[in-house]
Amino acid sequence: MLCMISRSAAYNGMLDSQKIAVEAQHGLIAQIIKDVVFSSRLGEQGRASNVEHVVDVVDATMSIG
């Protein structure tokens, strides 16, 4: 019985760790998107370039997890 409790606790710990990692990843993506959107100047790069940059950054960030 102790072994089952230990596995259950380990499994719950693993699930909690996954949730924390996903939340951190989403926070990072949100911050990067905010930085790109609010730091960009449309006269220099244009809207299409900004969208491509956001897509590239999000794809790279999602590939980490």
> Cα separations (Å) of 1 from 10, 12, 22?
14, 17, 32
For the residues 3-30, what does the mean pLDDT come to?
Answer: 86
Measured between alpha carbons, how far is 64 from 58 in angstroms, rounded to an integer? 10
Q: Give the pLDDT band of residue 7 (cuts 50, 70, 90).
A: confident
Q: What is the pLDDT of residue 3?
A: 58
Instruction: Return the domain boundaries, the chain.
Output: 41-65
The residue among 8 and 42 whose pLDDT is bigger is: 8
- The closest of 59, 58, 56 to 31, measured between CA atoms, is 58
- The closest of 7, 6, 2, 64 to 32, measured between CA atoms, is 64
Q: Indicate the SS3 state at residue 29.
A: helix
Q: Give the pLDDT band of residue 58 (cuts 50, 70, 90).
A: confident
Structure tokens at 58: 């999000």
Q: What is the pLDDT of residue 43?
A: 53
State pLDDT tens for residues 33-55: 888 778 765 555 556 666 777 77
